[in-house]
Structure 1
Amino acid sequence: MRHRRSGAPILGRLRARLLPLVALAVLAVLAGPAVAAHASAKPSVVLIVTDDQRWDTLGRMANVEKLVAAHGVTFTNAFVQDPACCPSRATILTGRFANDTGVLRNGPPFGGFASFDDRSTIATWLGAAGLRTALVGKYLNGYQGVDGYVPPGWDRWAAFTTLGYYDFALSLDGRWQSYSSSSYSTYVLTDQAVSFIRDTRGPLLLVYTPFAPHAPAEPATRDETAYPKLTPFRPPSYDEADVSDKPAWLRSHTRLAHRGANRFRRHQLETLLAVDRGVGRIVRALQATHRLHHTLLVFMSDNGVTWGEHRLVDWKFAPYDEMLRVPLVVRYDPLTRTPRRDTHLVLNADVAPTAAALEGLHPKTDGQSLLRLLAGTSSGWRTAFPIEHLRERALPESKIPSWCGVRFRRFTYAVYANGAEELYALANDRYELRNRARDPAYSGTRRSLLPRLMWLCHPPPPGMSLGRLCMVRGTPGDDALQGGPRGDVVCGSGGDDLLLPRGGSDYVDGGAGNDRIRVRDGVRDFVRCGPGNDRVVADRRDVVAPDCETIIR
C-alpha cells in the first residue's frame, strides 16, 4: 500500500524550520565565517543525475566544469554500490544500500519500481522540512504513472513514463503527456526544471534526471557532428586479449567489432552536450532567483558503462571499475569557495544523507554525509564498501550470475553465486587485467580481505549463499571451533558453540544456539551471532552485530 504525504503538525513544522538553522550553525563552527554569512538563508538542494555516464567524461562538459567543479569539490573516487540504474537510483533517493531498499536489479522480483518502498526518501524528508520538491526526468525502471500515481513527497512531478530522446512520454503531476519526434527530451526536461526554479518561492529540492547518455544515445540535432575526429579509446583493457582468468560469463564473449564501440562512445559524448547546456540554464536560474550561493548543487551519474573494456560495449552489472565508478561533483558555496579534488571513497549512498544533514535531518541511512569532507575534515571515513548485484532476468547481461563483493582503495574482491571469484590488486593493475583470486602469491591477501567481505555482504543477494567461504565450520551439535593465527572465517551451526579465533582479522558467525564467542586478540574482528542467547567477549575496535545479546568489551 503506497501512501501520499500528509501535512505535518504545527510542532513538526516549527522543528523543521529550526533544525536547518542549527545545522548551519554547526557548519559555521566547522568552516568559519563563510558558512556563518549564509546561516540565515535556508539551503536549497539541486541534484543532477545522468544515466550511464562514465566517471572520465567530465572534461567534455564545459558548464559542469566552469559552474560546478570550479566552485566545488570533484570526488575522484566516487562509486555506486550496485552498478545498475534502478538499484542505484533507489540508493540515491534513500541513502540505503540495495539489500536495504529491496531493489537489487532493474526488474521484478527484487527490483524495479514495484519493489521500491517510496514512503521515506529525500523528497519526503525535505518536503516535511519545508522545501518545495520536484523530480524532472527518469524515476525508476518500470514506473509508468499508472492511475496518475505520483510518489509521496513530490510537489512537482515530470517523470518519464516512456523513456526516449524523441517520441517519449511524461507524467506531469499525474497527467500523461506524449511528445513527438520534434521534441528532444533533454530540452523538454530542462524547460521543466528551470520553470520549477523560477516559479517556486522559498527553498527547493530539484532532482533533474535526463535520459542521456544512456543507449541508444541519440544526440540533439545540433550535436550530431560535434566530434567528427574523436581519438579512438584504447586503454589496455580494451578488447582484452586474454580473458582466461575471467569468469565463464566473460570468457564467452568474442573479440570486438571496433566500429560499434567507437560509435557508441561518440554518441554518448554528443548527448552529454545538451545536458551540459541544461546545467548552465539551471545554474543561471538559481542565480537569477538569488539561490545559487546557498544551494547544495550535486552532479553525478547513476552508474558507469563500458566502452570496450573486457570485450564489453554498453555493459553494466559487473564488479568492474568502468561500471562502478561515476562522476561526482559538489558545489556548496559556504563550504567550497575554491575548487579542489578529493580522493576519499564516496558513494551514491552519501548524497541523500548529505542533503538531509544540510536541513538538520538525520534519517537512518547506510551512507554518510559529505558535509564534513566539504568542510575539510575526514577522520573516520570509510576504507571499504560493499558492492553487489542480483542476476537480471531478461537482459543480455542475465548471463552474469548474482555476485557480492567489497571495494577497497587498493583491491576489488567479488564472489559469484556459482563459485567464481575475482580479485584485483588495483595499485599495480588499475585496468583489472589479472584476476588474482586463484594466484598463490595473493592467497594471504585474499584471506585478509575475506572477513570484511563476509561482514559487508550480509545479507548476500537473494538465492546466494556465502557458506562455502567458511574456513572453520561447525556441526549441528555443540562445537568448540578454533581458528588459525592469520585470520579466519569461523561459522557455527546449530548447538551451543564455543568460537575462538586466535589471531588476525576474523569474521565469526555463531549461527543458531547459545554461543560463546571470544575475539579479544588485539586486531579488528567482525562478529554476528544469530538466534539464541549469545555472549561475546571483544575488543573495543571489534565490530559486533546488534543481534548479539551480551557484549563484554
Structure 2
Amino acid sequence: MSRPGRLRLATAAVLSASVLAACSGGGGGGDGSGERPPAVKYQPPGEQAEVAAPTKADTVLGPDATPAPVTSPEQPNLLMITMDDAALKDMQFMPHLQEVVADQGVTIANGLAPTPICVPARASLLTGQYAHNHGTVTVAGEGGSYKAFDDEDTLPGSLQKAGYDTMMVGKYLNGYTRHEVDHEPPGWTVWRPTVDFATYDFEHPQLLVDGTIKEYDQYSTTLLSDQSNSLIEKQADGDDPWYLWVNYVAPHHGSPIEDDDPEGISTTVPEKRDRNTFEDLELDTTPEMFEEDPSDKALIRAARQKSSEERRAGLREERQQRVEALQAVDRAIARTIDTLKETGQLDNTYVVVTSDNGFMTGEHNLNGKLWYFRDSIGIPMYVRGPGLPAGTTTQAPVTNADWAPTFAALAGATLDRDADGVDVLPWLDSDATRRVVPVAGWPVKGGLEPLYTGVIVGPWTYVRGRKGRGEMYYTKNDPYQLYNLYRDPRYKGARKELRTLWLESRDCAGATCPRTFMK
C-alpha cells in the first residue's frame, strides 16, 4: 500500500452563516419489538486534560497496520440503514440498536463523514467517492442537490450486473421533488423514494411506488419500516441475493410544527407515543458546549451564535425531540433484524447502520452540521454479519465512501467508478487506528469553492480556510477540540507533516487517495 499521491485542491472560500441550515428544502418504525428498554444513562467524559506537547510516539503517521481478512459467504445479502442527522452521542439512547446490531457485530468508533452534510454524504454512499470527485458538494445551488448528481454508474447498477436485486426505500438526495419523479435513477430493481418536500412531513409523507406518488397518513418512520420489511419478506422467496438501502428521515427536522417547538430553531417530530418521554434530558455540560472563548476558531466565526438562556433552552428542546424521534428508528431496526431472522436470512446478511453526518446542539456555539469538529464529522457506524466478531469495537477509521467498495467486494461486483474508499472489512478486527482522510465543506446555498479543506489522521485534525487561516486539533490531549494548535510552536513538526498530507490528498482520486491503514 502506498502513501497518498501529491495533488492540489482549490483554496477554501468565504464562510457563510447559512452552513447551519438543515438539509431540507422548505422517525420511527414499527412496533414489532415491544416496549422501549430503559435508556442508557449518559456518562459525560472526564475532566478536560491540559494540552501538552506530543511525545515521540505521538507522531502523525504510524507503522502500517495488519489486516485481518473476513471469511464471508458468496454473494451475501447487503442491508444499509441510514439515519438523517443522527449524532454519535444520540446512540446511547437507542438500546435496541445496541442489542441487535452492536452487541452482535462491530461498533466503528471512528466513523467519519468527510463532507458532513446530507447530499454529499449520500452521494458518497452511492459512489464510493469523496465529494470533490462525485461533484455533488452541497445541498442547493451550484454543485448542490439531486440535480447536480450524476446517477449513472452507481453501486446499485454494479450490484445488478453481479446478479443482485437492488431496492431503495426512503429519503434520496435532496431536491427529488414531484417534478423530478419522471426520472428514475438507473440500477434499482425497486425504487420507492420519499418525495420532496413531503419527505420532511413526518405525519403525511409521500412515497413514489411503482411510478406513482402515494400520500400516507402514517408516521414516516413506521411507513418506511413497513415498506422495507415487506420487501425483505418477499426476497425470502426468491433465489437472487439482494441489496436494500433504507433511509429514515429522523431525527432530521420537519413538520408539523408543535406547540412546544422553540422559536428560531428547527426541530424534528417524534412519534406520538414517544413525545416528552425524554423531557428531563438536559444538554451536556462538557467543555465544548457553548464554548466560552472560541476566538481562536477563525473559520467558524460567521457561523457561531450567541449563547443566551433562551437559546440554550431552545437547543435543549431540540435535543430532546431528536432523541425522542430516534426511539421509533430504534424499534424499526429491531423489527428489521427480527424479520431477517424469521425469514431465515439473517445469517447470510450484512447489516450496516449509520448516519449521513453528525449534528451539533451547542457544541462550539454551533447548531447543525457541515463543520470539521468531531461532533459533526464523526458519525455513528455499526456493522454485523457473517465472519465479523460480535460485540467488539474497532478504532479503524471508516468513511461513508468506503461502503460502496466494501459491498462490491462482498458481492463479487466491480464498481463502474473509480472509488476513493476501500473495502474496510479486513480492517475491522485489525490493529488499525489511523488513516489519512481528506475532509472538506462547501457553502450550503451553492458554490464550488470550498469553505475549508483538510485532513483527519487519527487524533489529528488539520483544516485550512481562506487567506491562510488554519486550525489544528490533537484530540488525544484535547478531546473537546478547544485549543487550536495551528500557531503553537510545540506542534510545528506535526503541522508541517499534516500540511504535506493535506496537499497530497486534497485532490486525490481513486488509487491516488490515501489507502494505508496505520497503527
| TM-score, normalising length: structure 1 | 0.72
2:60 aligned with 1:60, yes or no? no
Q: Work out the CA distance in 1 between the residues paired with 2:122 and 2:158.
A: 17
Name which of 202, 222, 244 aligns with 1:187. Answer: 222
Name which of 382, 401, 420 aligns with 1:329. Answer: 382
Alpha-carbon deviation of 1:168?
Answer: 2.4
Alpha-carbon deviation of 1:383?
Answer: 1.9
Which digits, 9 at most, give the CA deviation of each residue in 1:342-381, with x for residues without a partner?
001111111111111001124231111122124x3467x8
Name which of 49, 60, 72 aligns with 2:82. Answer: 49
2:34 is matched with none
2:166 is matched with 133
Name which of 112, 122, 126 aligns with 1:79. Answer: 112
2:369 aligned with 1:316, yes or no? yes
Name which of 456, 464, 489 aligns with 1:415. Answer: 464
1:433 is matched with 482
Question: 8 Å contact 1:296–1:331 — kept in the other structure?
Answer: yes
SS at match of 1:349: coil
Name which of 167, 176, 182 aligns with 1:148. Answer: 182
Which digits, 9 at most, give the CA deviation of each residue in 1:503-542, with x for residues without a partner?
xxxxxxxxxxxxxxxxxxxxxxx99xxxxxxxxxxxxx9x
1:347 is matched with 399
1:212 is matched with 250
Alpha-carbon deviation of 1:244?
Answer: 1.3
Which digits, 9 at most, give the CA deviation of each residue in 1:94-128, with x for residues without a partner?
11110110011112311211111111122111122
Q: 1:196 to 1:236 in 2, by over 3 A?
A: same
Q: Work out the CA distance in 1 between the residues paired with 2:465 and 2:380.
A: 27
Question: 8 Å contact 1:317–1:389 — kept in the other structure?
Answer: yes
After the TM superposition, which of the residue ranges 103-112 and 234-243 deviates more from structure 2?
103-112
Ranked by relative contact order (alpha carbons within 8 Å, sequence separation 6 or more), the top structure is: 2
Question: 8 Å contact 1:93–1:122 — kept in the other structure?
Answer: yes
Q: Work out the CA distance in 2 between the residues paired with 1:106 and 1:147.
A: 18
Q: Work out the CA distance in 2 between the residues paired with 1:204 and 1:93.
A: 16
Which digits, 9 at most, give the CA deviation of each residue in 1:141-200, with x for residues without a partner?
1112525322111111211112221232222232112234xx211011111101111122
For 1:321, give the aligned amino acid. Answer: R
Matches within 5 A, 1:217-256: 217-247=268-298, 249-250=300-301, 253-256=305-308
Q: Work out the CA distance in 2 between the residues paired with 1:410 and 1:434.
A: 13
Q: Work out the CA distance in 1 between the residues paired with 2:161 and 2:343.
A: 22
Question: 8 Å contact 2:384–2:390 — kept in the other structure?
Answer: no
Alpha-carbon deviation of 1:445?
Answer: 2.3
Structure 1 runs of 4+ aligned residues shifted over 6 Å read: none
Alpha-carbon deviation of 1:30?
Answer: 4.3
1:261 is matched with 315
Q: 1:368 to 1:76 in 2, by over 3 A?
A: same
Q: Work out the CA distance in 2 between the residues paired with 1:161 and 1:418.
A: 41
For 2:106, give the aligned amino acid. Answer: V
Question: 8 Å contact 2:118–2:139 — kept in the other structure?
Answer: yes
SS at match of 1:161: coil
Name which of 210, 231, 239 aligns with 1:196. Answer: 231
Matches within 5 A, 1:17-36: 30-31=69-70, 35=72
Which digits, 9 at most, give the CA deviation of each residue in 1:10-59, with x for residues without a partner?
xxxxxxxxxxxxxxxxxxx9456xx5xxx4x6410010010001122222
SS at match of 1:176: strand
Question: 8 Å contact 2:165–2:189 — kept in the other structure?
Answer: yes
Which digits, 9 at most, give the CA deviation of each residue in 1:289-333, with x for residues without a partner?
2110010100000000102101112x111111111001110001x
Question: 8 Å contact 2:107–2:392 — kept in the other structure?
Answer: yes
1:366 is matched with 420
Q: 1:417 to 1:222 in 2, by over 3 A?
A: same
CA RMSD of aligned residues (A): 2.3
2:151 aligned with 1:114, yes or no? no
SS at match of 2:464: strand
Q: 1:318 to 1:337 in 2, by over 3 A?
A: closer
The sequence identity of aligned pairs, in percent, is 32
For 2:243, give the aligned amino acid. Answer: L
Aligned residues between the structures: 419
For 1:348, give the aligned amino acid. Answer: N
Alpha-carbon deviation of 1:382?
Answer: 5.6
Q: Work out the CA distance in 2 between the residues paired with 1:401 and 1:149.
A: 29
Question: 8 Å contact 2:453–2:464 — kept in the other structure?
Answer: yes
Q: Work out the CA distance in 2 between the residues paired with 1:442 and 1:290.
A: 55
Q: Work out the CA distance in 2 between the residues paired with 1:59 and 1:235.
A: 16
Greater share of strand residues, 1 or 2? 1
2:350 aligned with 1:296, yes or no? yes
